[in-house]
Amino acid sequence: MFDQIAPKYDLLNNWLSFGLARRWRRFLVAQIFKRLFKGWDVSNRIETLDVATGTGDVIVEFRRRWKKRFGKTLGASTSSVGVDFSPEMLELARKKIRKKNLTDVSFVQADGMNLPFPSERFDAVTCAFGLRNMVDPKRGVSEMVRVCRDGGIVAILEFSPTKFPLFRSIFRFYFHRILPLIGRGVSKHKDAYRYLPKSVDDFESVEAVLNDMRDAGLEDVLRYSLSLGVLGLFIGRKREV
């Protein structure tokens, strides 16, 4: 399914979110920067991992912000890895990275519940709109925490049912009635954008995700509610042993 909708994925994300998807990614990356670089020695290379990377937009945003903040800082360097199970998504991600002339970025086809990396490798691990697609979200969180170094940051951006009564009704009508029609018409895939609202409805509760993060070894775990609760940013720091 993800392979088949890959060519229209970026276009539909922008349309169907009314352009908010970029703002959400920027908030995610801003929170990573806020936590990651306190007391950071610029001589230490920063390595990040983006799980369920899709077409690589979180990595692109991370690099945009990195250049803005550290572009002229001598010795500051970073590398990024993106993981996804869809080869077509990864091919588009590679093309995007080449077009933007970004270096030290690589992509790996892999399952987010079984990441092919050693423990404690990355300084920050992100996952935007991918956790609910995992058969076992708790295991997915555990893997993200495993490959994150002690003191590093794990951040997960994910949809969640809004609790605002009036907006909840409007959102559910759009999400379940309008969005699938637009998605099907543009992507030419009859089921992909029916899957999206169903996956959100079936996803774990906010409390379950927060508990999964704490159980996996994160501290200072919290959730930012975005766009009237339509989605949330779950973020925490890996406990230092």
For residues 149-167, give the mean pLDDT.
Answer: 80
Looking at residue 101, its pLDDT comes to 96
Question: Is the alpha carbon torsion for 1, 176, 20, 133 positive or negative?
Answer: negative
In the chain, % of residues over pLDDT 70 = 74
Looking at residue 142, its pLDDT comes to 98
Q: What is the DSSP letter of 19?
A: T
Mean pLDDT estimate for the chain: 85
Tokens describing residue 101: 């002339």
Q: 220 by DSSP, 3-state: which?
A: strand
Q: Could you give the CA distance from residue 215 to residue 126 in angstroms, rounded to a whole number?
A: 18
pLDDT at residue 82 is higher than 70: yes
Q: What is the pTM of this model?
A: 0.85
For residues 17-35, give the mean pLDDT.
Answer: 89
Q: 150 by DSSP, 3-state: which?
A: strand
Tokens describing residue 99: 């077009």
Q: Which residue type occupies 143?
A: E
Q: Could you give the CA distance from residue 71 to residue 13 in angstroms, rounded to a whole number?
A: 29
Looking at residue 1, its pLDDT comes to 61
- 66 pLDDT band, cuts 50/70/90, is very high
pLDDT at residue 78 is higher than 90: yes
